[in-house]
Structure 1
């Protein structure tokens, strides 16, 4: 099945009232495990990598692998560049065949964020790729290196931003945070509901690890159509590998390889079922 665009997946999710999981990967085994889960459940999906992860998984190596795996998948898969911080890496991702990119201007003023987003959208059009942006500020940081405070998305700002840019997907901050929550997250569903009623664009929830299944479903009912999952998958892979070494003193590489795939598969499968995208491919 050919690569698909993020916006197409999210528009279908809007019609079906479910969310598409956007799963971060860091190596071949995670790519294989994620797509295995999607194929088994006949679910559309997005696989992604964030710019802060490129020191561990160089884009010129993992990018073509992600694109190739998606192209060979039996389900529709979009390839997303998450939390782009530099135009250089965003452009590299587009050149490699990523079907969507996110430019993270959430630390900028609203005006600068809009201008940066429009600049990326102009470039993405050359590749027929989609663009995600963020309004407000999701807490923490993608790699856990910063403890950024949460700045909830303003409804009027969201309306102005979308009116000015026409971006393909909009990430909102409603009390969600990257990484591991230190306490149960308290999501502001009223803000989410108001934003959803005010802008006609698929909404994105970052910081999915640690949010309860009930809150996920509530978010989906209020317009969230893309949910990012990263930390939970990394943790599932690590836990699966640790169990392997605890059970055996002698572990060969290929058994390790299988357990990494399984760790990613188990977490992706669980979230697909929560998001309601099974049998929607």
Structure 2
């Protein structure tokens, strides 16, 4: 099976009241851990790559690893650019084999966001590639995305119909209270998603796929593991899984997860070295990390996404 774009994937998800997991990948073990969990539960998946990941692992290596995952699993897999910052970057990924791209013009004024998103859409659609746009800005830090709390803004529902119609974008990332990174909330602050905004957006765009970024729940087991085995990580509060599941039952068809993967991988590697300080074979500690990612992804598919047996 070749790479798929997200058009049919999202239509099925919207109609079925579930979401597709979009997991960030940086190396072979992360790709393998994610797709093994999806294979075991027969779930479709979006493997997404940030500009930082492309610099780290190189575009060609990442594409070939995802192609290998396709061959090994025969699952519906989309290869997606996460937070594309320019038309040139999106074009490079489209020309290089990606089946989906995100153009993030949320930091621009509205008309400039419309202009650059439309430019990407026109090029992408000519190559059967789907495009994700963004309205509103999430706070937090993750790779090249760095938005302070005072610069963050919720999506304005009154803009979404005009934006989608003028750009032709295939899906829309909105800001309703999620944030990038592990440290999403201050101590004592209760996580809360603005379901009223999500509801108004979905009413204005019936049947249209919505995306949530910054949606790691933060598995406290791994926070505790990092601290137990030599870390100094403060308690990280993420979005409760039941809130994400509710969003997935509404118009949200794609939920991005990255911080949970990083946290799990770091925690398990720390544990491995604490218990086996004499080990030096990367296959030993990276193998443990890969297995942990598989279990984490399976948990997300079951508890958050609801896309098991939807491949």
Measured against the shorter chain, the TM-score band is over 0.9
CA contact (8 A) 1:114 1:161 kept: yes
**Residues in 1 aligned to 2:93 and 2:266: alpha-carbon distance in whole angstroms:** 27
**Residues in 2 aligned to 1:152 and 1:22: alpha-carbon distance in whole angstroms:** 21
Structure 2 residue aligned with 1:206: 213
**Residues in 2 aligned to 1:7 and 1:89: alpha-carbon distance in whole angstroms:** 21
Query: Offset at 1:145?
Result: 6.4
**Residues in 2 aligned to 1:7 and 1:142: alpha-carbon distance in whole angstroms:** 27
Structure 2 residue aligned with 1:124: 124
CA contact (8 A) 1:6 1:100 kept: yes
Aligned partner of residue 141 in structure 2, secondary structure: coil
CA contact (8 A) 1:144 1:178 kept: no
Structure 1 residue aligned with 2:260: 232
CA contact (8 A) 2:269 2:286 kept: no
**Residues in 1 aligned to 2:30 and 2:74: alpha-carbon distance in whole angstroms:** 17
Query: Offset at 1:144?
Result: 7.2
Q: CA RMSD in A?
A: 1.6
* Residue segments in structure 1 that go unaligned for 5+ positions in a row: none
Query: 1:105-124 to 2 correspondence within 5 Å?
Result: 105-124=105-124
**Residues in 2 aligned to 1:76 and 1:64: alpha-carbon distance in whole angstroms:** 16
Structure 2 residue aligned with 1:278: 308
Once the two structures are superposed, residues 223-263 of structure 1 have per-residue CA deviations (whole angstroms, 9 ceiling, x without a partner) of 11100001111111111111111111222222123123113
Once the two structures are superposed, residues 49-70 of structure 1 have per-residue CA deviations (whole angstroms, 9 ceiling, x without a partner) of 1113333232233233223423
Query: 1:58-137 to 2 correspondence within 5 Å?
Result: 58-137=58-137
Q: TM-score, structure 1 length as denominator? A: 0.95
**Residues in 1 aligned to 2:147 and 2:167: alpha-carbon distance in whole angstroms:** 29
Query: Offset at 1:159?
Result: 1.4
Structure 2 residue aligned with 1:157: 159
Once the two structures are superposed, residues 251-277 of structure 1 have per-residue CA deviations (whole angstroms, 9 ceiling, x without a partner) of 222212312311321221111112100
CA contact (8 A) 2:138 2:147 kept: no
Once the two structures are overlaid, the 10-residue window that deviates more, 122-131 or 57-66, is 57-66
**Residues in 2 aligned to 1:246 and 1:104: alpha-carbon distance in whole angstroms:** 41
Query: 1:14-93 to 2 correspondence within 5 Å?
Result: 14-93=14-93
Structure 1 counterpart of 2:173, from 160, 171, 174: 171
Query: Offset at 1:88?
Result: 2.6
Query: Offset at 1:46?
Result: 0.5
Once the two structures are overlaid, the 10-residue window that deviates more, 86-95 or 108-117, is 86-95
> CA 1:71 to 1:91, structure 2 compared with 1: closer, same or farther past 3 Å?
farther
Aligned partner of residue 247 in structure 2, secondary structure: helix
Query: 1:195-274 to 2 correspondence within 5 Å?
Result: 195-200=201-206, 201-209=208-216, 210-251=238-279, 252-274=281-303
Once the two structures are superposed, residues 53-107 of structure 1 have per-residue CA deviations (whole angstroms, 9 ceiling, x without a partner) of 3332322332332234234422111111110013232122112211100000000
Aligned residues: 281
**Residues in 1 aligned to 2:264 and 2:144: alpha-carbon distance in whole angstroms:** 17
Query: Offset at 1:31?
Result: 0.3
Once the two structures are superposed, residues 119-177 of structure 1 have per-residue CA deviations (whole angstroms, 9 ceiling, x without a partner) of 00111123210000000111123327634332000111111101212211100001111
